[in-house]
A and B are shown apart, each in its own frame.
Chain A
């Protein structure tokens, strides 16, 4: 009986969570720029809004999106990203990303850095992110 209640509690928590998964950063040199990528899994019944990301590793940390127009690609800053209820939003190469501008240190593959993600009405989410060279 206790196990059943416990499982129900886990299920209830999972129904109302925001999870940050598969986070990684590109390697880059000190003084240059990089990008942070991750998935936001919104298991709640409400839209969730990511409006700010903080980190000590860069002078500026901004949410950007990459867009395509014909055969050209460009980037533009966005104020926030809304993650729909019961859905996963992927910050991924060639799409939305968190831009790390003017890095204060070299980002070497294998190292990890802390970021704080701010969601409206949900507060702060601290994550540790590895530097990866992906294919």
Chain B
């Protein structure tokens, strides 16, 4: 007679449930899955051209969006990324790269990005700062749904217009296949949450 409560039958009943829970758990952790449908040419802080996302194949990427003339929000986002980088290193995870993309390519030349990184003592071993041709950056931003537009401008006595952007405050998590899996508020990202997400992706 079939014993409904025998150990084997309970296992049989629970297995599909566990599989379902595993998948729904993954979906709730990563509700988004967006691909880059083409490659983008980006230029790093050393003036090297790279093809994104191919350059980071098989790596998990934490990407933030900044402009170096920003005195307040973008340094917070950059610092958050630095703290995530430190945490990941402390946890012994080695397949994660960090990328800060400037949405101000006219002013953020590679040398400017390099200086921005150096003054903040950022470890550039797996942390990259990117700029690029204006059309490439604009196309990239559209794909990741990041908006940046000039809003506030101050004028120095010698007539320079120093402009500041209003922009989407965002960090994105990209998996080993180059797919965007999750978005976070850049300057307020929860370091514990993103670290757990990185581990969940296999970091």
> Once the chains are docked, how many angstroms separate the CA of A106 from the CA of B69?
14
CB-CB under 8 A from B75, the residues of chain A are: 26, 35, 93
| Known interface pairs A74-B167, A76-B152; A133-B71 also in contact (CB < 8 Å) | no
Contact with A along B65-107 (1 / 0, CB 8 A): 0001111110110010001000000000000000000000000
Contact with A along B98-126 (1 / 0, CB 8 A): 00000000000000000110011100000
Contact with A along B139-175 (1 / 0, CB 8 A): 0000000010001101111101010111111100000
Contact B160 A102 (CB under 8 A): yes
Main secondary structure of the interface of B (DSSP, over half): mixed
Partner of B166, one of A32, A74, A101: A74
Q: What total of A-B pairs shows CB separation below 8 Å?
A: 96
> Is B187 part of the contact surface with A, judged by Cβ < 8 Å?
yes
B107's closest neighbor in chain A, by CB? A32
> Once the chains are docked, how many angstroms separate the CA of A34 from the CA of B166?
17
A92 CB to closest chain B CB (Å) equals 10
Partner of B154, one of A60, A73, A106: A60
CB-CB under 8 A from A55, the residues of chain B are: none
Within 8 A of B (CB), among A22-46: 26-29, 32-35
Partner of A94, one of B72, B120, B155, B158: B72
Interface size bracket, A side: 20 to 34
Contact B71 A99 (CB under 8 A): yes
Interface size bracket, B side: 35 or more
Binds B, one of A64-72, A80-88, A114-122: A64-72
> Is A3 part of the contact surface with B, judged by Cβ < 8 Å?
no
> Once the chains are docked, how many angstroms separate the CA of A73 from the CA of B160?
24
> Is B54 part of the contact surface with A, judged by Cβ < 8 Å?
no
> Is A100 part of the contact surface with B, judged by Cβ < 8 Å?
yes
> Once the chains are docked, how many angstroms separate the CA of A77 from the CA of B72?
13
Contact B120 A101 (CB under 8 A): no
B30 CB to closest chain A CB (Å) equals 18
| Known interface pairs A60-B156, A93-B76; A71-B185 also in contact (CB < 8 Å) | yes
Contact B162 A33 (CB under 8 A): yes
B116 CB to closest chain A CB (Å) equals 7
| Known interface pairs A33-B162, A68-B169, A72-B167; A133-B154 also in contact (CB < 8 Å) | no
> Once the chains are docked, how many angstroms separate the CA of A97 from the CA of B70?
12
CB-CB under 8 A from B151, the residues of chain A are: 74-76
Partner of B119, one of A62, A64, A102, A106: A106
| Known interface pairs A72-B167, A73-B167, A133-B121; A59-B116 also in contact (CB < 8 Å) | no
Q: Chain B CB within 10 Å — which of A71, A97, A108 has the most?
A: A71
A positions within 8 Å CB-CB of B: 26-29, 32-35, 59-60, 62, 64, 66, 68-69, 71-77, 93-94, 97, 99-102, 106, 108, 133-135
New A-B contacts (17) at CB < 8 Å, excluding given A72-B169, A102-B162:
A26-B71, A32-B69, A32-B116, A59-B157, A59-B158, A64-B152, A66-B73, A71-B168, A72-B168, A73-B166, A75-B72, A76-B151, A76-B152, A77-B154, A93-B75, A99-B72, A133-B121
